Structure 1
């Protein structure tokens, strides 16, 4: 599992936050589970800013179950009072059971309202209220529900998971052409697969992963110059990295390094 703060722009501002691996029964369906818990003083708020992974998330809180689409921009959420959420970063094999058109959810979300989903929410709420080990119990009931919802994972779904690994995993491809070669498919087939399972193009997914990793390295490796980061992540040059930062995050890399390090 990647660094738990990747995608989070200002980790020092986080409330209690955990990333848990998927249990065996959900390993082909969920990259990891993420659980924030917060208790903010009355009259105050905590703004959490993220550059989300290019994937769908199924999120349970005390009141709703929400399916969130892949995002193309930075986003934020202002936390107030006390609360929690249990989110599953979905692997492509899980998507078809929850949405037949992921592209319609890009930069958006949909509240799911069915008897089955209500049962999931109630089970997670009960698990989160049970003291020590509550996060692990919540993940366990979430995983069982998702495994039952998806059913048997077939060969095309596993190929879609391999696609995500090639585009987003360790030693990820730097271009759609490289990804297609690794998967032994055409670039056009690759495009159809990402559209069907994520709703974004392969190039958009690569850009998001690069920006996530760039932000993490700019923040966490203050001694590393920006030109080296740009070169290692496949940017054409330092200026290209800066343009990406400004376009998505609204801030230049040097300024972000200063602010994030405070």
Structure 2
């Protein structure tokens, strides 16, 4: 059986030797790009379980362009045959281009009519050189976003700052902490989150905390779960376990076992 999968992910830049043009202006719209490629033997499939960041993703495949809304739980995708996807993790500022109600897209997808983008990415991914095709595909998506999106507003930049602060500062454990850090009211944060993200600021904080705890549990099997729970602000180990079960669908101990942590 032949089953191969390769993924390239770029954050604020590019890992490709050819380089992925990502000028500062485009960074207002996309945080990073991801490009999985797979080749599954006939009659076989590969199930992928993904806990995405609580944000919207634009994904281009051979025959469609989709916007995946913010997720509240693990998603699954079965890969078959040979294929690829080119995706962009969108900053909040880009979301209103696609929907006025991001909350309505939680855990679901919306097909986007963008024939020019579909053709440009498809042509790029036909290049036989892997590094070149991925670089060209990212360039095509970034160019399309820049053409479609208006000049970023101060409000949109504030929404980006809110999301970045929550994702990047584990010391922020309450909405009030984030509001103080941005010098705005809690009500302003809630309005921004509703318009640009589709999940409330408290939900974003909980997701970041869970992802950090999951990463610590996986990468440090020597640490006891009660200590990890305390480190990331959970009242006790049972609260951490409840969060795991609600979002991931299994316990912290099971997660460790599945991740090879034990």
Q: TM over 0.5: same fold?
A: yes
Secondary structure of 1:217's partner? helix
- Residue 76 of structure 2 aligns to a residue whose secondary structure is strand
Residue number in structure 1 paired with 2:11: 21
On the 8 A contact 1:246/1:252 being kept in 2, the answer is: yes
83-92 or 226-235, which moves further after superposition? 226-235
Give the Cα separation in 2 of the matches to 1:145 and 1:162: 23
How far 1:138 sits from its partner (Å)?
0.4
| 2:135 alignment partner in structure 1 | 136
Tell me the TM-score normalized by structure 1. Answer: 0.90
In structure 1, the partner of 2:66 is: 66
- CA pair 171-242 structure 1, distance change in 2 beyond 3 A: closer
The alignment yields a C-alpha RMSD, in angstroms, of 1.6
Structure 2 CA distance for partners of 1:97 and 1:33, relative to 1, 3 Å: same
Distance 2:123 2:202 in 1: 41
Q: For structure 1, which segment, 232-241 or 120-129, has the greater mean C-alpha deviation from structure 2 after superposition? A: 232-241
Residues 14 and 28 from structure 1, CA distance in 2 versus in 1: closer, same or farther, beyond 3 angstroms?
farther
1:98-133 deviations in whole A, cap 9, x for unaligned? 2111111111111012xxx11001100111111221
Q: What are the superposed Cα offsets for residues 48-68 of structure 1, whole Å, 9 maximum, x if unpaired?
A: 101111111111010000011
Please give the secondary structure, in 2, of the residue aligned with 1:55.
coil
Query: Aligned residue pairs: how many?
Result: 247
Deviates more, 1:249-258 or 1:140-149: 249-258
Aligned to 2:31: 31
| 8 Å Cα contact 2:46/2:79 also seen in 1 | yes
Matched, 1:190 2:192: no
Instruction: Give the conservation status (yes or no) of the 8 Å contact 2:120–2:137.
Output: yes
Displacement after TM superposition at 1:14 (Å): 8.5
Q: Counterpart in 2 of 1:124?
A: 121
Answer whether contact 1:165 1:172 (CA < 8 A) is retained.
Answer: no
